Amino acid sequence: MIDAHMHLEQGSYTVDWLMEFINTAQSRGINEIWVLEHTHRFFEFAPLYQQVKEVNDLQRKWIEDKHLLPLSSYTNFIRDMRKKTFPITVHFGLEVCYFPQHEQFIRDMLAEFNYDFVVGSIHFIDNMAYDLKGISEATLWDRYDTDWIWKRYFELMEALIKSDLFDGTAHPDTLKMFHRMPEFDTTANWNRIADLLVKHQMYTENNVGCYYRYNHEEMGLNDKILQIFKDHHVKLYCATDAHNPKFVGIHLDEIKDKTLYD
């Protein structure tokens, strides 16, 4: 059993902090964890977020309040950890905020280090964050038509997949988190996403983060979308998006049977 998405960012790049994640994983029967960090933690990725800052003061403050680290603090940690043996398998990757206008920059940055895996995430709709409580309402959801936001999201997802920059894409239906759902039928859109994921040999996640971190009533992927992905044989991993060791593996027991193929 794999937990394919967790972040160390609330602690330090030390063996002790990593071991806390490993210990919880073991206690929940997880034998492989995928650790990844957000690109918005690191100085070197700051150019990705320049236009995000320019959208409004809310987003500018959100970006400027981050205590950025040099990327080497993470890549050196990965190099050190690769020399060690752990009781379970540990992969180290990166969660990249995807922006279509920055594909070349992302490509250049990813060429500089050999991560075990790289995930592309849509966190921004035309530079506007969709998932930040207290910011996204005024920036995006209250200003733009919900159907437009969803259509734009699907366009960005397709561009992300077609970029061939990433091994997988994270939490594909987290746009639902504010319960602002589209009025149009999205079945054809999800079918297209599923087709493209298969064509570009990318995986996606059944990620329970929205459920336990943001109190969304669906535990992981919406059942209809999950079924579409399975009908297309999209490669799927269960993931918690744990930002703290105590959440590693949480709820995966409850979603694994419906998620994983036999």
Binding mask 217-256 toward Zn ion (x if CB under 5 A, else -) reads ------------------------x---------------
- Within 104-123, the residues that bind Zn ion by CB under 5 A are 121
Smallest distance, Zn ion to C-beta of residue 5, A = 6
Q: Which is nearer to Zn ion, 97 or 234 (CB)?
A: 97
E-strand stretches of the chain: 2-6, 32-38, 89-97, 117-121, 124-125, 128-129, 168-169, 203-207, 235-239
Our CB check for Zn ion shows the closer of 228 and 239 to be 239
Q: Give me the least distance between CB of 95 and Zn ion, in Å please.
A: 5
> Smaller CB distance to Zn ion: residue 191 or 222?
222
Q: Give the residue with the Cβ less far from Zn ion, 8 or 226.
A: 8
Beta bridge partners of 242: 6
**Total number of residues that touch Zn ion (CB under 5 A):** 4
Beta bridge partners of 93: 36, 117
Sequence-ordered list of residues with C-beta below 8 angstroms from that of 31, at least 6 positions apart, any chain: 1, 2, 25, 88, 89
Complex with Zn ion: residue 87 or 100, whichever CB lies closer: 100
Long-range contacts for 226-230 (Cβ within 8 Å, ≥24 apart)?
226/258, 226/259, 228/187, 228/190, 228/191, 228/194, 229/190, 229/194, 229/197, 229/204, 230/261
Which residues from 73-102 bind Zn ion, rule CB under 5 A?
95
Q: Which residues in 132-194 belong to E strands, given as ranges?
A: 168-169
How near is the Cβ of 130 to Zn ion at its closest, in Å? 11
Binding flag, residue 139, Zn ion (CB under 5 A) = no
Burial bucket for residue 246 (CB in 10 Å: 0-12, 13-18, 19+)? exposed
Q: Any bridge partners for residue 128, and if so which?
A: 125
CB of 239 to Zn ion, least distance (A): 8
- AA identity, residue 138: A
**39 near Zn ion (CB under 5 A):** no
Using the contact rule CB under 5 A, the part of the chain among 22-30, 168-176, 187-195, 200-208 near Zn ion is 168-176
Q: Of 21-29, 146-154, 163-171, 250-258, which segment contacts Zn ion by CB under 5 A?
A: 163-171
Q: Which residues are at the interface with Zn ion (CB under 5 A)?
A: 95, 121, 170, 241
